């Protein structure tokens, strides 16, 4: 099991859009029409997987798919149609705050009686649920900070310097063994999960794909730089308390020392990052481009919206005693020491 495996295989399709994109990447079929994307369910498995496949070409690609597909004009046109469908729905469905101050205030205060996934895992989660959670989060954490790095060329001055400083920490401060993606692979090893990059893509429901796709969407478009900063702020501000709960969940379920260490690391690092993101990245960006305040608020609110959808999916299945994955994991040990 090697998380440094450069190119995962293409996953099975989940509908006509993803089937056509997959066939095109294999060189065995035609691309779907833009009209087909415009009529698809924006949060559904088919559109989200098709969009994920397009985005992944900008990261590690897929085995057997030529590197030149990354900038294939026809594929980019299809991606644009998929993005438009997704982003239009996201803007329409995200409960928005009246101002950026209100959006920030909402995530700066921890609810007294939280009911989210990290609360569940800390209080009553079982080891099999911890393993499912880690498998789903691996779609992002095995490339942790990469979607956010796209925004660096779109920033300057205070915002750029501060964002680069936070990213430097995410990438281990120059030490390969401290890169957060490596630490998450160690967590997966503790949980007896396969650390191959992209291994659990087929297992992930659409709600999980949408969270990762949102990061790539915001990161790859200069016009959405404000939304990416807002998303990043939401992640960093909520990470420290959530990571503390998840570290406790890892210890309570016997997940292993590397599993607990990953979240312990984020408790400390993200408490600092929160301050840097709020006072330097956001403040620096708005000092230069004050008109982006509404976009920053949208990024915060959209992150909460999609995370709530994913959390609702996970908790509904887990509380019913069912796997939340499309493809359940192979049984692991009842207890990991």
Residue 247 sits in the same domain as residue 138: yes
Residue 116 sits in the same domain as residue 260: yes
Token couple for 7: 């190119």
Residue 329 forms part of a structural domain:
no
Residue 191 sits in the same domain as residue 237: yes
Residue 142 sits in the same domain as residue 193: yes
For 175, which DSSP code?
-
Residue 87 sits in the same domain as residue 175: no
Contacts of 42 (CB under 8 A, 6+ apart): 85, 86, 88, 89, 90
Between CA 143 and CA 221 the distance in angstroms is 19
Residue 276 sits in the same domain as residue 294: yes
Provide the 3-class DSSP secondary structure of residue 129: helix
Residue 325 forms part of a structural domain:
no
Residue found under tokens 């925004």 = 151
pLDDT at residue 337 tops 90 = no
Between CA 337 and CA 327 the distance in angstroms is 26
Is 0.85 topped by the overall pTM? yes
Could you tell me the CA-to-CA distances from 62 to 132, 180, 220 in Å, in that order?
A: 24, 23, 19
Residue 331 forms part of a structural domain:
no
pLDDT in tens, 247-297: 999 999 999 999 999 999 888 776 778 889 999 999 999 999 999 999 999
Owning domain of residue 141: 98-319
The domain total for the chain is 2
pLDDT in tens, 286-327: 999 999 999 999 999 999 999 999 999 999 999 999 999 999
Residue 34 sits in the same domain as residue 162: no
Q: What is the average per-residue pLDDT within 61-70?
A: 96
Residue 113 burial (C-beta neighbours within 10 Å; 0-12, 13-18, 19+): exposed
Token couple for 118: 């990290």
Q: What is the average per-residue pLDDT within 104-131?
A: 91
pLDDT in tens, 194-245: 999 999 999 999 999 999 999 999 999 999 999 999 999 999 998 889 999 9
CATH code where residue 285 lies: 1.20.910.10
Cα angle 44-213-301, degrees, rounded to a multiple of 5 = 90
């Amino acid at each position: 099991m090697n998380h440094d495996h450069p190119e995962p295989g293409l996953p099975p399709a989940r509908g006509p859009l993803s089937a056509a994109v997959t066939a095109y990447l294999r060189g065995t079929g035609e691309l779907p029409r833009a009209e087909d994307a415009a009529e698809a369910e924006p949060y559904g498995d088919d559109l989200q997987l098709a969009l994920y496949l397009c985005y992944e070409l900008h990261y590690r690609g897929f085995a057997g798919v030529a590197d030149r597909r990354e900038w294939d004009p026809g594929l980019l046109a299809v991606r644009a149609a998929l993005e438009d469908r997704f982003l239009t729905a996201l803007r329409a469905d995200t409960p928005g705050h009246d101002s950026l101050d209100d959006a920030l205030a909402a995530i700066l205060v921890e609810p007294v009686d939280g009911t989210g996934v990290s609360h569940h895992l800390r209080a009553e989660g079982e080891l099999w649920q911890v393993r499912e959670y880690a498998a789903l989060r691996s779609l992002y954490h095995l490339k942790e900070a990469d979607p956010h790095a796209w925004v660096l060329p779109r920033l300057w001055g205070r915002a750029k310097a501060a964002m680069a400083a936070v990213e430097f920490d995410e990438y281990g401060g120059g030490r390969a063994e401290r890169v957060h993606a490596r630490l998450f692979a160690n967590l997966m090893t503790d949980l007896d999960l396969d650390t191959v990059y992209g291994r659990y893509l087929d297992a992930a429901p659409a709600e999980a794909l949408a969270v990762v796709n949102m990061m790539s969407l915001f990161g790859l478009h200069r016009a959405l730089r404000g939304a990416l900063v807002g998303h990043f702020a939401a992640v960093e501000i909520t990470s420290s308390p959530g990571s503390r709960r998840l570290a406790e969940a890892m210890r309570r379920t016997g997940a292993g020392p590397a599993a607990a260490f990953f979240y312990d690391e984020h408790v400390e690092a993200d408490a600092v990052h929160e301050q840097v993101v709020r006072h330097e990245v956001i403040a620096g960006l708005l000092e230069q481009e004050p008109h982006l305040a509404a976009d920053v608020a949208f990024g915060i609110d959209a992150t909460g919206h999609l995370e709530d959808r994913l959390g609702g999916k996970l908790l509904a299945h887990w509380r019913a005693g069912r796997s939340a994955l499309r493809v359940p994991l192979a049984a692991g040990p009842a207890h990991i020491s």
